[in-house]
Amino acid sequence: MTALLETRDLAKNFGAVTAAADINVQINAGEIVGVIGSNGAGKTTFINMVTGYLKPSSGQILFDGKSVIGRKPREVMRDGMCRSFQVAQLFPELTVMENVLIAQSLAEGKNLSFFSPMHTPAREEKARAILKEYEILEYVDETIATLPQGVRKLLDIAMAMLSNPKVLLLDEPTSGVAIEDKFDLMTTVMAAVKKSGAAVLFVEHDMDVIARYSTRLLAFYDGRILADGPTGEVMRDKNVQTLVVGHHLDMDELEGTNNA
Amino acid sequence: MLSKNQIFVVAAAALMILAGLVMPYWFSFLVTVALAKGLVVLGLVILMRAGLVSFGQGLYYCAGAYAVGAFSDYFQTDNVLLLVLVAIVCGLVISSIVGLLLSRYRDIFFAMFSMAFSMILYGVLVKSAALGSSDGFNVTKPSLFGWAAEFNGTNLLSYWVAIILACVAGAIIWRYMRSPMGMTGEAIRENEIRVEYLGVSVQKIIYIKYIIAAVLASVGGSITAMTVGHIDPEMAYWTTSGEFVFIALMAGTGHVAAPLIGAVIFELMRTFAFQLSPYTWQMILGIALLSIIIFLPNGLWSLTDKFKKGAN
């Protein structure tokens, strides 16, 4: 089976600092992959490289059989790899509806219309359906600046999903979200993702979230992949617990673990 | 079927056209020049909505005017349609080259680079004896296939052309601003990274907006040249570009009508300020702009929102 996303001996240096090295990963269609690692372990560098934002120092990145290196993020995105950000990237002075309509219009095609109005009943209806799916319809007429963090995160992800990606990269989807809202947010996102059939790669610090939603886990340490395998297996790994998590993980305490 | 607003605009334009027959010459002249500048500001507003402030729209204003002057002189023609077309082509050609560079820059760099190009044209024109150096040269009065539209000794063709072009450009830009392409400007102003990650080239969109703004400025320049009957390098000087920014700030960017109405208000204000105080009229304009920035930070057009809210 050909991997949807594959990296071969991927490395990134910033001057004398090695941010990533020897990264060999294969992501298959429909997989839900968690990514863990302490700060500076290379997680975001990895995501930035595979989306075309950062050019690797060496190695290869293949997405759907095509090399990503040298291509712009928008070109990679057009091929079906979308992302959300650690800090939700939205249009702050516009309303939720306008944010979705712009994302929808841009997702419809490279050649934007000059004269047909952006606000059409069909587009607005679709936008409301999307907001309902992500359970944020009640905020439709509010501007982004007034929204709670969790709603911003959901909107960010909803906008990334509008172009029906094959792979969705989520950079810390629950950071800044209240503890009690984290599972609700992830459940909503995963339900939408499951429906679309996209593979998901999500960077996360909360081990409960990782345990509950990922079926496979990549553990980064010092710019390298320390462990890659079924979530439960990687979480039980002594090296991962010592070097990445920083403490012993009691698998019985991690609720709803996929591969405990 | 025309909407209420469209009927209102057509009726207002028809009324303005008829009013030209009875209004004093100085007023029709003022309105013509104001609408010409309003078209330049309309283009500037398109850029401002994308978060870019150009201090170099004088480049296209002047280029459009000189294209009209040089073309009419060389080919001995005064056909208004042909002359406006020449100005459009001139703006299109220059902006499609300059825009390749400018669309890469943002913020103060965009503002300064746009001003630099405008000042290059100014320098070239001042040194060009064939184009009248710093004195410039006279431009023939326009006609429409030989018809000069003379009424009571006043040439009304430029006035009518200005009104028609302002309405047509206003209608086109109104639709454009509501289209996905137009709205993407606001998205770029708000968050460029997100727009790129939604699969669209920000640089390409800015490039297109820059060209549209340049064409509008060229058309504005052509109308001014035909109305005033004289052009000089001052049209490319940075103070001319600054004047367009002044009008845009004063009028606001909330609606396509704002720059057109704002330009008329500006010209009226300047005329009366000059009459009131010939040596310190700039101070009056400065105080007016300061007051607007303090009390109406979104420009005069924001008054309409206040009225609407008040009515509700």
In this structure, is residue B141 part of a structural domain?
A: yes
Asked if A143 and A93 count as a contact pair (C-beta separation under 8 A), the reply is: yes
For position A259, what pLDDT does the model report? 46
For position B172, what pLDDT does the model report? 93
B190 and chain A in contact, CB less than 8 A: yes
CA angle A30, A36, A38 (to 5 degrees): 160
Tell me the per-residue pLDDT of B103-151, one tens digit each, with 9 for 90 and over.
999 999 999 999 999 999 999 999 999 898 899 999 988 988 888 877 7
In this structure, is residue B60 part of a structural domain?
A: yes
Asked if A102 and B185 count as a contact pair (C-beta separation under 8 A), the reply is: no
What are the CB-based long-range contacts (under 8 Å, 24+) for A16-24?
A18/A223, A19/A45, A19/A223, A20/A45, A20/A46, A20/A49, A20/A56, A20/A223, A20/A224, A21/A223, A21/A224, A22/A224, A22/A225, A23/A59, A23/A224, A23/A225, A24/A225
Asked if A208 and A253 count as a contact pair (C-beta separation under 8 A), the reply is: no
In this structure, is residue B304 part of a structural domain?
A: no
Residues of chain B above pLDDT 70, percent: 98
In this structure, is residue B58 part of a structural domain?
A: yes
Task: At A105, list the tokens.
Answer: 């219009």
Asked if B122 and B240 count as a contact pair (C-beta separation under 8 A), the reply is: no
Tell me the per-residue pLDDT of B284-304, one tens digit each, with 9 for 90 and over.
989 988 998 899 888 888 888
Query: Is the per-residue pLDDT at B23 higher than 50?
Result: yes
**Model-level ipTM above the cut of 0.85:** no
Cβ contact A118–B180 (<8 Å):
yes
For position A260, what pLDDT does the model report? 40
**H-only helix segments in chain B:** 4-19, 25-49, 58-75, 80-102, 107-126, 157-178, 180-190, 192-197, 202-228, 238-251, 257-276, 281-295, 302-311
Q: Which of A74, A85, A116 sits opposite B199 (nearest CB)?
A: A74
Tell me the per-residue pLDDT of B146-170, one tens digit each, with 9 for 90 and over.
888 777 667 789 999 999 999 999 9
In this structure, is residue B251 part of a structural domain?
A: no
Averaged pLDDT for residues A174-199: 87
User: Hey, what amino acid is at A103?
Assistant: A
Cβ contact B183–A108 (<8 Å):
no
Q: Which of B176, B190, B200 sits opposite A92 (nearest CB)?
A: B190
Query: Is the per-residue pLDDT at B50 higher than 60?
Result: yes
Averaged pLDDT for residues A39-62: 90
Residue of A nearest to B184 (CA): A102
The count of structural domains within chain B is 1
Which residue's structure tokens are 């700030």? B249
Q: How far is A107 from chain B (nearest CA, A)?
A: 7
Q: Which of A175-184, B111-120, B274-283 has the highest mean pLDDT?
A: B111-120
Residue of higher predicted confidence among A29 and B119: B119
Comparing A61-70, A116-125, A245-254, the range with the smallest average pLDDT is A245-254
CB contacts of A113 in chain B (<8 Å) are 179-181
**In order of start, what are the domains of chain A with their CATH numbers?**
5-89+164-245 (3.40.50.300)
Which residues 74-133 on chain A approach chain B with CB closer than 8 angstroms? 74, 77-78, 82-83, 85, 89-94, 98, 101-103, 105-108, 110, 112-119
Q: Which of A90, A107, A110 sits opposite B194 (nearest CB)?
A: A90
For position A258, what pLDDT does the model report? 55
Q: Domain limits at B43?
A: 27-237
CB contacts of A91 in chain B (<8 Å) are 186-187, 190-191, 194
Query: Is the per-residue pLDDT at B312 higher than 80?
Result: no
Averaged pLDDT for residues B183-197: 90
